[in-house]
């Protein structure tokens, strides 16, 4: 297979960090299975709320955030900076406190220890962000890539405002439903639509910039600027659930317009993204197709929530909200990360167990979205069916088995 060479490939102790990432993905899948098992079985020994908090905090922090941190450092910084022990210690601290959040939330929910673990995790994010931005300022890379990377880190820092507010609400026991929900949406928005999205396109555009013959530089520049600008006004779309005032609705409408502009500009640059995967295996191209299609669907759907009849139906329907969040987190972000790890030859698709694991995981992602969407629509139109929890439970089993196969294949590949 004629594979393009990327100068960014190096020995950044890459396999160690991606091994941790694959393990974190498996742990996240296991917790997701436990949550769905709690729904269909009694399991009195499991506290659903505690497990849910652990699942979300660890999935966002220990899997997606940490792995994208590693990818950004590997892709955008010179080898001399990547191999510094400073990054190893900071990334190790992020991983340590992500596991700290996992364990403390599982066994105690929101309490003093879990709050301290969360605060330490946030401080580690700040440390990584400060060090990375300082190094990035001295690197000569495509200005569009640098813009996306800088904005991604700023969004990561801004997302902690929501997490800090949630921690304060629980720690002070001054529960305010409106403040809690807005803080949660702020946290998720700056992570999903900010850090995750901008970091992914920073990596993609960096790889495109390496291929000197790829055109449409101006379109990529405009898309990057529109995507960065859209983060702030589109935040107000998430506040529409509470019947907001006139100005919040106006800013939300502006956010929808910027997202539609992003949608249009992305269609104009999609061919240049395809060039990165021209010589890759068909399985990898399928994964990236699903990931980028999910991104397109994400920004397209976000634009319609500004209409009250649609926004109220979505924000008031838990399966639809969960379907949207899972579409972004699993179909867009997680599949992109897996595609990146495969392209870096950490996961070798020629190994049988890895190949089975990837196909199972992708199938579970698609099935999961179809079930959540169907469940959400059924609750809007008619009474929900009891069969959906069982089907989602079976999908959770497939998710977990897929990650086990990935770990098994990874161990075999080392031999």
* pLDDT tens profile 112-156: 898 899 999 999 999 999 999 999 999 889 999 999 999 999 999
Span 343-399, pLDDT tens digits = 888 888 889 999 999 999 999 999 998 888 887 666 555 555 678 888 899 999 999
Please measure the distance between the N-terminal and C-terminal CA atoms of the chain and give it in whole angstroms: 23
Residue in 218, 224, 250 with CA at minimum distance from that of residue 151: 224
Number of Cα atoms under 13 Å in the Cβ half of residue 317: 24
- CA distances, 120 to each of 65, 222, 285, 356 (Å): 15, 37, 38, 37
Q: 42 φ, ψ to 5°? A: -70, -55
3 state SS of 227 = helix
| pLDDT at residue 176 is higher than 80 | no
Under 8 Å between Cβ of 33 and 396 = yes
> How much of the chain, in percent, has pLDDT values that exceed 90?
53
Q: pLDDT tier at 175 (50, 70, 90 boundaries)? A: confident
Name which residue leads in pLDDT, 372 or 11.
Answer: 372
Tell me how crowded residue 101 is: count the other CB atoms within 10 A of its CB.
25
> What does the DSSP assignment read for 114-174?
HHHHHHHHHHHHHHHHHHHHHHHTT----HHHHHHHHHHHHHHHHHHHHHHHHHHHHHHT-
Flag the least confident range among 36-45, 48-57, 106-115, 378-387. Answer: 378-387
Confidence of residue 200 (pLDDT cuts 50, 70, 90): very high
Whether the pLDDT of residue 92 is over 60: the answer is: yes
Q: Using CA atoms, how far apart are residues 108 and 63, in angstroms rounded to an integer?
A: 21
Q: For position 215, what pLDDT does the model report? A: 62
pLDDT at 216: 62
Sketch the domain layout of the chain as residue ranges.
307-415
Across residues 221-242, what is the average pLDDT?
A: 90
Residue 402 has pLDDT above 90, yes or no: yes
Helix (H) or strand (E) run with residue 344 in it: none
Instruction: Specify the pTM.
Output: 0.91
Q: How far is 197 from 266, CA to CA, in rounded Å?
A: 13
Half-sphere exposure of 404 (CA within 13 A, CB side): 7
Positive or negative CA dihedral for 255, 256, 260, 263? positive
Tens-digit pLDDT profile for residues 248-267: 889 988 999 999 999 999 99
CA-to-CA distance for 40 and 273, rounded, in angstroms?
Answer: 42
Q: Does 415 score more than 70 pLDDT?
A: no
pLDDT of residue 287: 94
The sign one gets for the Cα dihedral 244, 250, 252, 256 is positive
The whole-chain average pLDDT of the chain stands at: 86
- Give the integer Cα–Cα distance in Å for 359 and 349: 10
pLDDT band (50, 70, 90) for residue 314: low
């Amino acid at each position: 297979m004629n594979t393009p060479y990327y100068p960014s490939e190096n020995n950044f102790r890459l396999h160690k960090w991606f091994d941790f990432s694959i393990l974190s993905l498996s742990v996240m899948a296991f917790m997701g299975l436990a949550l769905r098992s709690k729904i269909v079985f009694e399991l009195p020994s499991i506290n659903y709320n505690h497990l849910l908090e652990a699942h979300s905090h660890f999935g966002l922090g220990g899997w997606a955030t940490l792995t994208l941190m590693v990818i950004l450092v590997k892709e955008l910084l010179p080898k001399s900076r990547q191999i510094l022990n400073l990054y190893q210690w900071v990334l190790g601290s992020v991983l340590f406190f992500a596991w700290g959040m996992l364990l403390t939330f599982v066994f105690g929910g929101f309490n003093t220890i879990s709050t301290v673990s969360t605060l330490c995790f946030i401080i580690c994010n700040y440390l990584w962000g400060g060090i990375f931005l300082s190094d990035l300022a001295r690197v000569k890379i495509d200005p569009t890539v640098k813009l996306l990377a800088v904005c991604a880190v700023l969004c990561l820092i801004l997302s902690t405002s929501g997490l800090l507010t949630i921690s304060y609400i629980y720690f002070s026991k001054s529960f305010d439903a409106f403040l809690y929900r807005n803080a949660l949406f702020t946290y998720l928005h700056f992570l999903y639509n900010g850090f995750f999205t901008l970091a992914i396109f920073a990596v993609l555009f960096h790889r495109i910039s390496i291929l000197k013959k790829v055109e449409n530089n101006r379109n990529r520049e405009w898309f990057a600027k529109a995507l960065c600008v859209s983060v702030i006004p589109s935040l107000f779309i998430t506040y529409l659930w509470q019947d907001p005032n006139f100005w919040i609705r106006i800013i939300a409408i502006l956010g929808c317009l910027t997202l539609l502009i992003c949608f249009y500009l992305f269609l104009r640059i999609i061919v240049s993204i395809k060039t990165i995967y021209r010589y890759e295996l068909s399985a990898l191209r399928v994964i990236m197709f699903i990931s980028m299609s999910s991104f397109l669907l994400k920004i397209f759907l976000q634009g319609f929530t500004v209409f009250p009849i649609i926004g109220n139906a979505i924000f008031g329907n838990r399966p639809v909200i969960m379907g949207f969040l899972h579409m972004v987190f699993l179909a867009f972000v997680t599949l992109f990360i897996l595609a990146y790890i495969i392209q870096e030859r950490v996961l070798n698709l020629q190994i049988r167990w890895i190949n089975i694991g990837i196909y199972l995981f992708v199938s579970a992602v698609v099935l999961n979205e179809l079930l959540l969407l169907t469940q959400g629509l059924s609750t809007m139109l008619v009474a929900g069916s009891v069969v959906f929890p069982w089907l989602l439970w079976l999908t959770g089993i497939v998710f977990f088995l897929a990650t086990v196969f990935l770990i098994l294949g990874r161990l075999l590949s080392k031999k």
